[in-house]
Amino acid sequence: MNYSDLVEACKKHRRIIVTGPQRSGTTFASKALAKSLDYVFVDESRNPNQEDHYVWQFASKVHSLHKRDDYDLVIWMNRDKKDVELSEKRIQWSFFEFHRDQYRHVFGDEAMTFDNNYDMKHYFWNKVQKKDIKSKVIEFDYERLSDAPGFLSKNKRVNFSSKQTC
């Protein structure tokens, strides 16, 4: 599935969540989809203020995703672990302990066995959350966004900050 295929699949849905570990491309994917679909982009720090036709970037809230029903499509972003870790290092992302604590409250002490965000979020996504999602799920590889409007190759993103997309 390429980006154009993803857009076509999204046209059947009105309330879309784009999620995955932080630094996996959820912000860019959400903004690109919202623009392509002519939907409203909703940042993860906010809640949608409309009934439908939105794309909600949801990386920071993924721990609670399987308990929600206010969406009809979930897109899980897959990105190479090394690229995610390099991105975390570049922007000095330092919220792992906070997110691990969120996961501990939802999934129990097993969350405390993880030493990085990427592995923890993928583990609980695959072990628990994916099967409990009440809507359609699409797992999408970050590299497949390369034909999305505004996508920049890795070498052009080396100095990007958090939330920067273009």
Over the stretch 40-88, which tens digit does the pLDDT of each residue have? 999 988 988 878 999 999 988 899 998 888 889 999 999 999 999 988 8
Number of domains the chain contains: 1
Domain range holding 72? 3-144
Is the pTM for the entire model greater than 0.85? yes
Whether residue 161 is contained in a domain is answered as: no
CA angle (45 as vertex; 104, 22 as ends), nearest 5: 55
pLDDT for 157? 73
pLDDT digits (tens, 9 = 90+) for 87-141: 888 888 888 899 999 999 999 999 999 999 999 999 999 999 999 998 999 999 9
Q: Tell me, what amino acid is at 147?
A: D
Whether residue 116 is contained in a domain is answered as: yes
Q: Concatenate the DSSP letters of all residues of 80-121 into one string.
A: -HHHHHHHHHHHT---HHHHHHHHHHHH-GGGGG-SSHHHHH
Q: How many CB atoms lie within 10 A of CB 36?
A: 18
Whether residue 22 is contained in a domain is answered as: yes
